[in-house]
Amino acid sequence: MTVSPPAYFRQLSGTRFEATEATAGAWNPAEQHIAPVIGLLAHLLEQDHAQRGGALRLASLSCDILGVLPLGEFDVEVSVIRPGRTIELVEAVLTSNGRTGVRARAWLLQTSDTAALAGTSFPDMPQLDSTPEYPFGTTWNGECVNTIEARRDFLGTGRARSWIRTDTTLIEGTEVSEQARLIGMLDFANGLVPRVDPLEIGFPNIDLNVSFFRAPAGDWLGLDSTVSFGPDAVGLTESIVHDACGPVGTLTQTLTIRA
């Protein structure tokens, strides 16, 4: 008998979901890691657009993380902020125990053939096979980090190039796009390049913003990341985002440093 891989979420109704133990967070195992949540919200925004007959592509996603999310059940509502045939702004709001936990807005853009103009000056990532395996789960607590297979080219304090993937499905019994699945791993960028021991000093992110000039695809997500701490308890993680074919966009996470 084939055993299905675990899932981060179960869908209980059109708007209600349950977070499984696979989402258990790195700062507190009783709370959800935000990475799969962001992938779920991206999927729901894509799904809502497709169900309305749209054919636009998610080009950017901005997420405000308004508080911690306990394991268990929560609700998501999707709405259209700015409708359009070529450009659309949509929003997904997650509520848990009557409180808004995450608010995500995405710009969806019309696509056409611009292959003759395509190009970028972002540097390439190291080859996957030549990147050393990285025991991600030994640095952090929580089951969610243990769902990730990681390889990392360490370049110095707060600087690394990493490849990650997961066999854990986003939603039990539900097919999602490759882009939504990869978006569901973006938030691991901050944890892959800690400047300090995360068991001694906290540096959670309060947002996540990603822009794609090309839709990512495949199993592996590449993150060329730099983490910076300022002198007054504010930090920043910046990453160039890659898939197996090269760069696809950029990612930022604003950090609050809890020394």
Q: What is the pLDDT of residue 6?
A: 86
Mean pLDDT score, 35-52: 98
Q: Which residue matches tokens 């607590």?
A: 141
Report whether pLDDT(3) > 70: no
Per-residue pLDDT reduced to its tens digit, 128-183:
999 999 999 888 989 999 999 999 999 999 999 999 999 999 999 999 999 999 99
Helix (H) or strand (E) holding 49: helix 34-51
Beta bridge partners of 133: 151
Mean pLDDT score, 194-203: 93
| Residue 251 to residue 39: CA distance in whole angstroms | 14
- Contact at 8 Å (CB) between 148 and 165? yes
Q: Comparing 215 with 199, which gets the higher pLDDT?
A: 215
Mean pLDDT score, 173-195: 97
| Residue 180 to residue 46: CA distance in whole angstroms | 8
Cα dist from 214 to 59, 63, 123, 253, whole Å: 8, 20, 15, 20
One-letter identity of residue 78 = V
Report whether pLDDT(4) > 80: no
Report whether pLDDT(2) > 60: no
Global pTM reads 0.96
Mean pLDDT score, 200-208: 96
